[in-house]
Every structure is written in C-alpha cells, then in structure tokens.
Amino acid sequence: MTMKSRIFFLTLGLAAVALSSAILPAGAHEHGPQKRTLSLAATGTVKAEPDKVDITTGVTSEALTARDALDENSEAMSKVVKALKAEGIPAKNIQTTNFSVQPVYEHKEGSTPFITGYRVVNTVRIGLTDTKQLGAILDKVVSLGANTIDSIEFSVAEPETLKDDARRRAIENAKANAKVYAETAGVRLGPIFTIVEKDAFIPRYAPAGASRMEMARDVPIEAGTMTVEVRVRVTWELE
C-alpha cells in the first residue's frame, strides 16, 4: 500500500468516528439517566427586640484660641465619661471615635479668609447592653455637656442564634411548599438533592408596632423590632 493510500484510509476512518459520535442520542455520554428534580425557594423570618444599643455622642467646643477650646472640651468630655462609668458602663464599652482641632475661618467678600477661633471635636461611641438605660444615659450626657448625638444603633447580642432559627423556618417552609407541589403534580418527593443559602441576616426595624421604651424625662426613643431573614433554595429528587 502506497503512502497516499494509507493517508486516505486513515482520513476516512477518522471521519467515520466523528460521524458516529455526532448521531449518538442526547445524554448518551452522561453517566446514567438524568434525574427529575423539584427546586423551590423559601424564606425564614425571625423577629426579636434589640438587646444592645450603640450611641455615638460627643462635645464640640469653640474658643478664640486652640488652648481655650481644648480646655473647655476636655472638661466637658471628662464629666461625660466619668458619669458613664458611674452608671456602670465598663471602660471597654466607651471608645473615642473622633478627635480634632481645627481653625474656624470667616469669609468676607473681597478679602482673604481669616481665622476667628478654633473648634475642638471629641466623639465617643458608647455600647449599652441594657437598652432600658438609653433614656437616662442620653439625658445625663447632654446635661453634662455633650452637644452632638450622631447616631443611635440598635442590635442583638447573638445574631447567629436568630439566623439559625430563621434557617430552620426557611427549610420548614420549603418542605411545606414542596409537598403541595408534589401532591398537585401527582409525584412523590425523594431525598433532598441540594440546599443553597441565598441571603442571610438582613436586619430591618419595624416602623409600626414598636413598644415605647421607658426613658428618663420622656426622651422619645423607639427601640423597634429587628427582623432577620434567611433565603434558601432546596432541590429534591423525584421518585
């Protein structure tokens, strides 16, 4: 057999293999038949009252000199911190988050801005493990010289426990929904094939239905209700 004949038969053989592969039925290359499945998304929701609150508050002072502004600010902030500790708040729950000394400028038309004084800002973050203290603490820090309250943030001490409860409810809801679908479609659920968690721990505060906290001197603060959600997608094999 000549070299050209060998090349011709080899080419013909490869073409036959390619053709036989192309006409194989779909799924023939897979390991076993494709499984029938049912896939559903479900949400688990848990509501809880916040048991922690973080307050960001501070003292802003202005004076003609930086020294006077600093002295005034330091005196007021020292009283605030001392009062917080006297209320039983541990030092580890009181953290300085901002401190600055800056000139105050006056701008007049047709002239260069000039310094008229200095501003000192000292801000602390206070962590309360008893939300019922909030009203009394706010009243006290303002009375002692705090003149800025930047934020009040409610939260829970053990969010993972709430997330686990929400996960259980999400799976229970998915099972209940899957049972309805299976019965309606006339099929039987097999074992769970996959569970995928989509989102978890999305805190929201309910605008309505929140119980009012008892505050010293009627400081109007609402704790609200925190909602934790977990979304899952569960896939079952069908028998």
DSSP string covering 146-212: --EEEEEEEE-S-HHHHHHHHHHHHHHHHHHHHHHHHHHHT--EEEEEEEEEEEE---EE-SSSPPB
Other residues' Cβ atoms within 10 Å of the Cβ of residue 16? 10
21: in domain = no
81: in domain = yes
Task: Please tell me the distance from the alpha carbon of residue 43 to that of residue 56, in angstroms, as a whole number.
Answer: 34
Q: What pLDDT was estimated at residue 202?
A: 52
Domain span at residue 98 reads: 52-155
Pair (58, 142) in one structural domain: yes
Using CA atoms, how far residue 211 sits from 63, 106, 136, 139, 218, in Å, is: 43, 47, 18, 20, 14
91: in domain = yes
Query: Would the pTM of this model clear 0.75, i.e. be above it?
Result: no
Read off the tokens for 10. 């080899």
- Among 136, 155, 174, residue at a domain's last position: 155
- Among 155, 170, 185, residue at a domain's last position: 155
Pair (116, 172) in one structural domain: no
In degrees, to the nearest 5, what angle opens at C-alpha 168 toward C-alphas 167 and 174? 90
96: nearest Cα among 69, 118, 73: 73
Pair (60, 132) in one structural domain: yes
Q: What pLDDT was estimated at residue 193?
A: 92
Q: How far is CA 43 from the centre of its chain?
A: 17
Pair (77, 138) in one structural domain: yes
What CATH number does the domain containing 124 carry? 3.30.70.2970
Mark out the alpha helices in the chain (DSSP H runs).
3-22, 66-86, 134-143, 159-185
SS3 category, 231: strand
Pair (129, 88) in one structural domain: yes
- Among 155, 178, 195, residue at a domain's last position: 155
Q: What is the pLDDT along the chain (239 residues), one digit of tens a residue?
A: 554 444 434 343 433 333 333 334 444 444 556 789 999 999 999 998 888 999 999 999 999 999 999 999 999 999 999 999 998 999 999 999 999 999 999 988 888 889 999 999 999 999 999 888 888 899 889 999 999 999 898 888 888 899 999 999 999 999 999 999 999 999 999 999 999 998 665 554 443 333 333 334 546 666 778 888 999 999 999 98
14: in domain = no
Q: What letter does residue 217 receive in the DSSP assignment? A: G
Read off the tokens for 216. 């010293």
209: in domain = yes
205: in domain = yes
228: nearest Cα among 157, 165, 152: 165
Pair (38, 102) in one structural domain: no
Pair (115, 167) in one structural domain: no
170: in domain = yes
Q: Greatest CA span in the chain, whole angstroms?
A: 109
How many domains is the chain partitioned into structurally? 2
199: in domain = yes
